[in-house]
Structure 1
Amino acid sequence: MTQQRVAIVTGASRGIGRAIARKLAAEGAAVVVGYSGNTVAATEVVDEITADGGQAFAVAADIAGEHAVEAMFAQAEERFGGIDVVVNSAGVLALAPIADLDLDDLDRMHRTNIRGAFVVARESARRLRPGGSLVLISTSVVGLRFPTYAGYTASKGAVEAIPMILARELRGRDVTVNAVAPGPTATDLFLEGKDQTAIDSLAKQPPLERLGTPEDIAATVAFVASAAGHWINGQVIRANGGII
Structure 2
Amino acid sequence: MSYPPYLLKGQKALVTGASSGIGEAIARNLATSGAAVAINYHSEAESAHKIVDDIKANNGEAFAIQADVSKEDQVKAMFSKTLQEFGTIDILVSNAGIQKDSAFIDMTIEQWNAVIGINLTGQFLCAREAAKEFLRRGVKPNISCAAGKIICMSSVHEVIPWAGHVNYATSKGGINMMMKSIAQELAPHKIRVNSIAPGAIKTPIN
TM-score by length of 1: 0.74
1:173 partner letter: H
SS at match of 1:57: strand
- Alignment map for 1:57-96 (pairs within 5 Å): 57-96=63-102
The answer for the alignment partner of 1:220 in structure 2 is none
SS at match of 1:144: coil
Taking only the aligned residue pairs, the percentage that are identical comes to 35
Say whether residues 1:173 and 2:189 are aligned partners: yes
1:127 partner letter: E
The answer for the alignment partner of 2:166 in structure 1 is 150
Q: 1:108 aligns with which of 114, 125, 134?
A: 114
Q: 2:34 aligns with which of 21, 28, 32?
A: 28
1:97 partner letter: A
- Structure 1, residues 123-161: CA drift from partner, whole Å, max 9, x if none? 111012532200011111233323212211001111111
Say whether residues 1:99 and 2:115 are aligned partners: no
SS at match of 2:93: strand
CA–CA distance in structure 2, aligned partners of residues 76 and 20 of structure 1: 18
CA shift, 1:3, in A, is: 6.4
Moved more, 81-90 or 142-151: 142-151
CA shift, 1:54, in A, is: 0.5
2:71 partner letter: G
> How many residues are treated as equivalent by the alignment?
189
- Structure 1, residues 25-53: CA drift from partner, whole Å, max 9, x if none? 01000000011111101101111111111
SS at match of 2:164: coil
SS at match of 1:58: strand
Tell me if the contact between 2:52 and 2:63 (Cα under 8 Å) persists in the aligned partners: yes
- Structure 1, residues 77-107: CA drift from partner, whole Å, max 9, x if none? 2222210000011111011221222221111
Structure 2: stretches of 5+ with no match in the other structure: 1-7, 140-145
SS at match of 1:135: strand
1:45 partner letter: I
1:33 partner letter: I
CA shift, 1:163, in A, is: 1.6
2:198 partner letter: P
2:154 partner letter: S
The answer for the alignment partner of 1:135 in structure 2 is 151
CA shift, 1:169, in A, is: 1.5
